Amino acid sequence: MRGVTLASVTRSEWIKFRSVRSTLMGVIVTTVLTVGLGALIATAVRANWNQMDPIRKLAFDPVSASLGGTLFAQFAVGVIGTLFITSEYSSGSIRTTFAAVPRRGLVVAGKLLVLVGSLLVVTEVACVATFLLGQSIFSGVVPTASLGNGAVLRSVLLGGVYLTLLAVLGLAFGLILRQSAASISAFTSLLLVIPIILFLLPQSWQNAATKFMPSALGRSMMSTSAPENFFGAWTSTALLVVYVIVAFSVGVALLLRRDA
């Protein structure tokens, strides 16, 4: 008899994931923010290009400029990841879930596979779309980039990887805190508030600390050449993966110990 397996639990989580409206809304918001705001930023760059400082023109990266919408989309994917688990706690359905699958590690693994699989598709499509749209907006006025270039392709694809990793980070926060509002606040603070606090520190401290922030790692990942004082793209990716693994491990350890 086939019973509870990783495959059956993953299919079950996929049904849960796509059968609530918040997922669809989250995906739409993610796409609109990535592509729509990306296009808006590209349009603004094009309009101001002739007035731009020559030094800044020299440092201009058409790839990261076209991926600017991800700065906003990162909050949407975080919410998708968080709600995937916290909505089960707020509704009480977590008990139904764990009664059906007492090996809770399987539930988390299923959620992780569904979240990574679906968001990687959505965010990669959105990042490629906003890149192409951005280049067509820049075209003729602002320098453009092509996906045929290895570094460009890497930057665009790591945009989707960055957003997907942040969705998993949101899931990890949800596992740890179990409440939607608390988890989303913590997630937002990590991305927005802590960088602002760092900004108040002396310049040398800032330079040392800022590059460790998830948002800074994202900037490196989505630039063809890493900004000054930042880690390189692959180091940044690896560091972000480590963050996610640490947060996720804490979440799973708590989940296995706690009463449901």
Partner 1 sequence: MLRVDHLTKHYGDTVAVDDLSFDVAPGVVTGFLGPNGSGKSTTMRIMLGLDRPTKGQTSIDGHAYRDFPAPLREVGAQLDAKSVHPGRSARNHLRALATSNSIPLSRVDEVLEFAGIASVADKKVGGFSLGMSQRLGIAAAILGDPGVLLFDEPVNGLDPEGIRWIREFFATLAREGRTVFVSSHLMSEMALTADQIIVIGRGHFIAQGSVDDLTRTSAGTVFVASADDARLAQRLRDAGASVAVSERGLDVGKMPSATIGAIALADGIALSELTPQRASLEEVFMELTADSVEYGSAKVTS
Q: How far is the CB of 73 from partner 1 (least distance, A)?
A: 22
Among 3, 54, 148, 202, the residue binding partner 1 under the rule CB under 8 A is 3
Give least dist CB 184 to partner 1, A: 17
Residues 170, 182: contact at Cβ < 8 Å?
no
Compare residues 91 and 249 and give the one whose CB is closer to partner 1: 91
- The stretch near partner 1 (CB under 8 A) out of 6-14, 117-125, 173-181, 187-195 is 6-14
Contact pattern from residue 91 through residue 120 relative to partner 1, giving x for each residue in contact according to CB under 8 A and a dash for the rest: xxx-xxxxxxxxx-----------------
Output 22 or 207, the one with its CB closest to partner 1.
22
Interface mask toward partner 1 for 220-259; x: CB under 8 A: -------------------------------------x-x
Which residues in the 48-87 window bind partner 1 by CB under 8 A? 87
- Residues 184-223 as x/- pattern, contact with partner 1 by CB under 8 A: ----------------------------------------
Of 91 and 146, the one with the shorter C-beta distance to partner 1 is 91
HEC assignment per residue over the chain: CCCCCHHHHHHHHHHHHHCCHHHHHHHHHHHHHHHHHHHHHHHHHHHHHHHCCHHHHHHCCHHHHHCCCHHHHHHHHHHHHHHHHHHHHHHCHHHHHHHHCCCHHHHHHHHHHHHHHHHHHHHHHHHHHHHHHHHHHHCCCCCCCCCCCHHHHHHHHHHHHHHHHHHHHHHHHHHHHCCHHHHHHHHHHHHHHHHHHHHCCCHHHHHHHHCCCHHHHHHHHCCCCCCCCCCCHHHHHHHHHHHHHHHHHHHHHHHHHCCC
d(CA 235, CA 155): 13
Instruction: Give 92 or 148: the residue with its C-beta nearer to partner 1.
Output: 92
Interaction between residue 13 and partner 1 (CB under 8 A): yes
| CB of 100 or CB of 181, closer to partner 1 | 100
Q: Which residues bind partner 1 (CB under 8 A)?
A: 1-5, 8-9, 11-13, 15-16, 19-22, 87-88, 91-93, 95-103, 257, 259-260
